[in-house]
């Protein structure tokens, strides 16, 4: 496939802000950015696509699709060849409705991108709850990145098809470092082999406003995805 042909293919994929109507009838707002042509090899342009969906914190507490922590990841995800999606919907307390929306959105995107080989679900704070409720799939490969999320993931990490990265700070505004330590230790004991990686970032708070912590967050995710 030539560079011009690849460009035409990417231009045929919806980009920017759009409203997506899911099979359930739910309409959600999404923002999609395709990767640059240089992120692909020739063979990848012809046969493979990678999809990343970023899920923001609880909107009742100010979370939104343009969350600054998730914005940090836009460039790295695109440079690694991912079609990057951010979505926004109406929040619930349990996340069950959003989890169904996420499953439908993933399938909606897979149907339109074609030949998707991997899906990465990036959840930040409450967004990690929604991501954690999406199960691993036989195909494509589904990976989970959880940022600042100290809630149960036992069922997910016990699945040997899963691949999970947890990144948290040692100065989280809502969760003590000792609680994170105990939680990640219990997950490691329950996890299937080679499923779970946990990275603690020194000096990082729940909101990741610290410059060095932000750099470490991006580096950790880039390394894990490479």
For the chain, what are the domain ranges?
Answer: 3-225
pTM assigned to the model: 0.85
Instruction: Quote the pLDDT of residue 98.
Output: 81
| Per-residue pLDDT tens over the stretch 139-197 | 899 999 999 986 778 899 999 999 999 999 999 999 999 999 999 999 999 999 999 99
pLDDT score recorded for residue 88: 59
Listed range (70-84, 164-178, 196-210) with the worst mean pLDDT: 70-84
Whole-angstrom distance, CA of residue 123 vs CA of residue 157: 15
Q: How confident is the model at residue 64 (pLDDT cuts 50, 70, 90)?
A: low
Q: Which CATH architecture has domain 3-225?
A: 3-Layer(aba) Sandwich (3.40)
What does each C-alpha distance from 127 to 45, 57, 124, 132, 138 come to in angstroms?
A: 30, 5, 5, 9, 23
Residue 28 CB burial class (10 angstroms; 0-12, 13-18, ≥19):
buried
Residues 6+ apart with CB under 8 A from 169: 148, 200, 201, 202, 203, 204, 205, 206, 208, 213
The pLDDT assigned to 19 comes to 86
Predicted local confidence at residue 51, as pLDDT: 93
Q: What is the DSSP letter of 37?
A: G
Asked whether residue 1 carries a pLDDT value surpassing 70, the answer given is no
Return the top range by mean pLDDT from 25-29, 56-60, 147-151, 207-211: 207-211
99's CB contacts (< 8 A; 6+ apart) are: 130, 133, 134
Which has more pLDDT, 39 or 100?
100
> What confidence tens digit (pLDDT) does each residue in 2-18 have?
233 233 334 445 678 88
């Amino acid at each position: 496939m030539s560079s011009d042909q690849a460009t035409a293919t990417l231009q045929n994929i919806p980009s920017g802000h759009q409203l997506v109507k899911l099979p359930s009838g739910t309409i959600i707002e999404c923002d999609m950015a395709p990767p640059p042509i240089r992120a692909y090899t020739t063979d990848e342009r012809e046969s493979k696509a990678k999809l990343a969906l970023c899920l923001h914190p609880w909107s009742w507490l100010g979370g939104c699709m343009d969350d600054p922590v998730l914005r940090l990841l836009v460039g790295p995800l695109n440079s690694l060849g991912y079609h990057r999606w951010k979505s926004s919907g109406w929040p619930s307390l349990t996340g069950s409705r959003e989890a169904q929306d996420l499953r439908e959105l993933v399938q909606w995107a897979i149907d339109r991108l074609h030949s998707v080989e991997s899906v990465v679900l990036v959840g930040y704070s409450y967004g990690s709850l929604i991501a954690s409720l999406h199960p691993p799939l036989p195909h494509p490969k589904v990976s989970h990145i959880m940022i600042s999320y100290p809630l149960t993931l036992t069922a997910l990490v016990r699945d040997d098809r899963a691949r999970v990265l947890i990144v948290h700070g040692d100065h989280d505004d809502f969760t003590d470092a000792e609680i994170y330590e105990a939680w990640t230790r219990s997950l490691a004991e329950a996890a299937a082999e080679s499923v779970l990686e946990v990275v603690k970032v020194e000096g990082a708070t729940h909101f990741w406003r610290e410059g060095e912590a932000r750099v470490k967050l991006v580096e950790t995710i880039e390394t894990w995805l490479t």
